[in-house]
Amino acid sequence: MKIVVFALELILAIALSACNNKTIIQDFPTKTVNGSSSPLPPERNSNETTATSTPDTTVAPTLIDKHILLFHSDRTGSYQIYTSDTSGNNVKQLTNSPGRNIEPAMSPDGSMIAFSSSRDDQNGLYLFLMKGDGSAQHVLITKPGYALSPKWSPDGKRLIFYTNWDEHFQIYTVDVATGKYERFITSSDIDYLPSWSPDGKRIAYTSRRGTSEQIHIINSDKTGDVTISVGTEWAWRPNWSPDGTQIVYFKWTSNNGDLFLYDTRTKATVQLTSTSTIPEQNPSWSTDGSKIYFDAKLLPDQIDLFRMNPDGTGIEQLTHNVKNNGYPSEH
């Protein structure tokens, strides 16, 4: 059984090890945890610039230009956070610190970026914040352990993420202004990889109940939990379309791993990709909903960024280098 939980493993992974050649784009180090794991990749261009990693609390929040691509990469040897234009060019490095800096998420107004970072602690990953230009980097939660995959609420006041603070992965939220956090779902299940709907009323996430992991949707008031993926294959990384009518996610299949699209109105699911040797992972939407970004592992030591139309056609490769690039999102 191909049980590779890319975000999961990331959490307990300290050495970047893609489960096997069938493991595609994970976000960073990976390790098997309760039958799961996770990894990722990069590239370096001559027009690349590096932003300071020294906190600058005297500067007002900086709004980053719209229609840029945010991602993480190990092109310089360690995982750092970068931006580029939506074609993968004009790369700018935002972090330049020891350890791993991964899974960036930009606030709705573009002024802040949340991400996970190990910094000097190789046995943990903490939630950090920085301005949209990479300045004023600072830790938001210092609790030991792994805090991963932060996603912003539509109003920009809270983050939802998952951790290994409890016996197994659980979903938490945190107030960005105060740093006060609380557990979102209280259950004996493994719940992680949450994603807020654009209207803030629902949350999609992955849950392991029984022998497989499936995509669920729950209301923000913690009622009405429903399962939207079916089958025995494992499904991860749900991501809402900008209008909230569709959810794209990754699912292990007989081919290896493919992307699927769920319609919240009709309840219908469509398979978008079907490649026999290349799993596509970490899907996200363009700001206008006309494209889906994802990363894929073409070579044993190389993960690149791609985009395609929402119907699975028109696949374009955005990065071409000997390192890893992953977790793309457009802003």
Contact 73, 93 (CB under 8 A): no
What's at 64, amino acid-wise? I
156 to 88, 148, 199: CA distances (angstroms): 26, 18, 12
Q: What is the pLDDT along the chain (331 residues), one digit of tens a residue?
A: 333 333 333 333 333 333 333 333 333 233 333 333 333 223 323 233 334 333 333 233 344 446 899 999 999 999 999 999 999 999 999 999 989 999 999 999 999 999 999 987 778 999 999 999 999 999 999 999 999 999 999 999 999 999 999 988 999 999 999 999 999 988 889 999 999 999 999 999 999 988 889 999 999 999 999 999 988 889 999 999 999 999 999 998 776 889 999 999 999 999 999 987 788 999 999 999 999 999 998 887 899 999 999 999 999 999 997 799 999 999 9
Domain 6-330 in this protein, CATH class: mainly beta
Q: Which pLDDT score is estimated for 284?
A: 98
| Neighbouring residues of 202: CB distance < 8 A, sequence distance ≥ 6 | 196, 217, 218, 219, 220, 244
Residue 9, H or E segment:
helix 6-12
Strands 213-219 and 202-208: antiparallel
Tokens of 76: 């310089």
Q: Which pLDDT score is estimated for 146?
A: 95
16 to 2, 12, 19, 127, 248: CA distances (angstroms): 18, 11, 9, 20, 26
- Sort 54 into a burial class: Cβ within 10 Å, 0-12 / 13-18 / 19+: exposed
Q: How far is CA 94 from the centre of its chain?
A: 17
Strands 92-93 and 49-50: parallel
* Exposure string for 312-325, b = 16+ CB within 10 A, e = fewer: beebeebbebebbb
Strands 101-106 and 92-93: unpaired
Q: Which pLDDT score is estimated for 244?
A: 98
What's at 162, amino acid-wise? Y
* Cα 241 to Cα 226: distance, rounded to the nearest angstrom: 18
* Cα 110 to Cα 99: distance, rounded to the nearest angstrom: 25
Q: Where are the domains of the chain?
A: 6-330
Q: Which pLDDT score is estimated for 8?
A: 38
Q: Which pLDDT score is estimated for 239?
A: 98
What residues form DSSP beta bridges with 296? 280, 304
